[in-house]
Amino acid sequence: MESREFPLSRKTKQELVKTIFEVEFSEADNDSFFDFYQRAVDGIEEALAKFLSYDEREDAAEIIDDSINLGVRILLMVRTGGFLTIGRLIALSGETKVGWKDAQLADIIYKHFTHQKFIKQHVKLEKIFNARNLERIAGVEIRWTSNLADHLRMQDEDKAVEVFHYASFLRLHQKSPILPVAFIDETFRALALLLPEHDREVEKWFSGHQIKLEKRRKPPLDSMARECGQLKVEERQINKFEYWHDRLVILKQVFDEAEPSSMRQWWRDRRRRVQWYTFWVAAIVLALTIVFGLIQCVEGRHNLGSDRSRVVAAGGVAILPLATAMSYVIRAIVIEATENEGFPGECGVTTAGCLT
């Protein structure tokens, strides 16, 4: 079968896309989904070969079940089966397993991809809230997943979050009746929130993850995940999300409650600008006080009893109130600027990329 001969030909890709998603294949479509398809098929063939070698007829039903599960996994990119569909090449430990025994495919979609707005707490999705800052400021590890059911799911006691990056797969479903259009649109917007297209720092960070995965010989990231646009202020409101609402609220709570644990994180953390300026002004004042105190001690020791020693000592003592006064002045300026102007950069570009 050509659908099991890799790399896939253009004709085979056309047939697969038309059969699975009932849409026409476009050259602009990313190959990330076909990479996933190849790994899934390789995994099932490896497991089937192991089972068939024993020539046990009672395994036939299990083989059929797992073949169906493979088809569902390729169609929805969710884990549904037993060992065969979660073979070494296509699964990670801790994945969400969607159960659907004696149920129709529509039941899976309705049960797992429905509105989730049970958490009533309101959170603000500021521009600083993105995947890069989740790692750099809050210390939350970004784990890329091929399981749509795990998107935005927290793991390891809120130290890691799963991110579904296969935007090309979602694009294939845009014209397909399988997944709800509103669900696909919101998933694109969630990616635009975490991976804003026009943020150069996020772009560099994303490229860094690509390089790390290549070095580890892991499946590549879908480049289309970085082409889902950038949300405007009115789009970056938590009440605009319904399917991923609760997971976003939990993720934002973790981000807001995280405290810097190192000097590097203190430097990167600009969530509370007044506190940030105050901390670093105080650190500079402390450093200056220590430096001039050391100078005073050294000079005083070498020039004990001399006029020069008294002058240096007086200068060192005078530094402290001067630096303290400077810190209060800077703090007052920062507070006034924050109250009058607010945080910069609250305008954005509409979510165009993947949504059209």
Residue 77's closest CA among 50, 58, 95, 56? Answer: 95
pLDDT tens sequence across 324-345: 555 555 555 555 544 444 444 4
pLDDT of 314 over the 50 cut: no
Provide the pLDDT for residue 237: 95
Provide the pLDDT for residue 3: 46
pLDDT tens sequence across 264-305: 665 555 556 556 556 656 777 777 788 777 777 776 666 655
With cut-offs at 50, 70 and 90, classify the pLDDT of residue 102.
Answer: low
Provide the pLDDT for residue 287: 75
Determine which of 131-135, 173-177, 203-207, 315-319 has the lowest per-residue pLDDT on average: 315-319
* 8: CB partners within 8 A, 6+ apart: 2, 16, 34, 37, 38
Instruction: Give the sign of the dihedral formed by CA 269, CA 272, CA 275, CA 281.
Output: positive
DSSP state of 93: T
CA 179/CA 110 separation, integer angstroms: 9
Provide the pLDDT for residue 200: 94
Q: Where are the domains of the chain?
A: 2-111, 131-262, 272-341
pTM for the structure as a whole: 0.66
In the chain, the percentage of residues whose pLDDT exceeds 70 is: 62
In the chain, the percentage of residues whose pLDDT exceeds 90 is: 34
* 192: CB partners within 8 A, 6+ apart: 228, 229, 230, 231, 351, 353, 354
CA 293/CA 308 separation, integer angstroms: 15
Helix (H) or strand (E) holding 164: strand 160-164
Determine which of 2-6, 90-94, 339-343 has the lowest per-residue pLDDT on average: 339-343
pLDDT of 85 over the 50 cut: no
Q: Please, what is the average pLDDT of the chain? A: 75
CA 177/CA 200 separation, integer angstroms: 35
Q: CB neighbours (10 Å) of residue 133?
A: 22
pLDDT tens sequence across 174-213: 877 788 999 999 999 999 999 999 999 999 999 999 999 9
Query: Strand, coil or helix: what is 160?
Result: strand
Q: Are 95 and 86 in contact (CB under 8 A)?
A: yes
For 230: left if phi > 0, alpha if psi spans -120 to 50, otherwise beta; the answer is: beta
Higher pLDDT: 78 or 142? It is 142
Backbone φ and ψ for 137, nearest 5 degrees, come out as -100, -50
* 179: CB partners within 8 A, 6+ apart: 76, 109, 113, 173
Q: Dig out the tokens for 294 from the structure.
A: 């050391």
Provide the pLDDT for residue 143: 96
Q: What average pLDDT score do residues 239-254 get?
A: 96
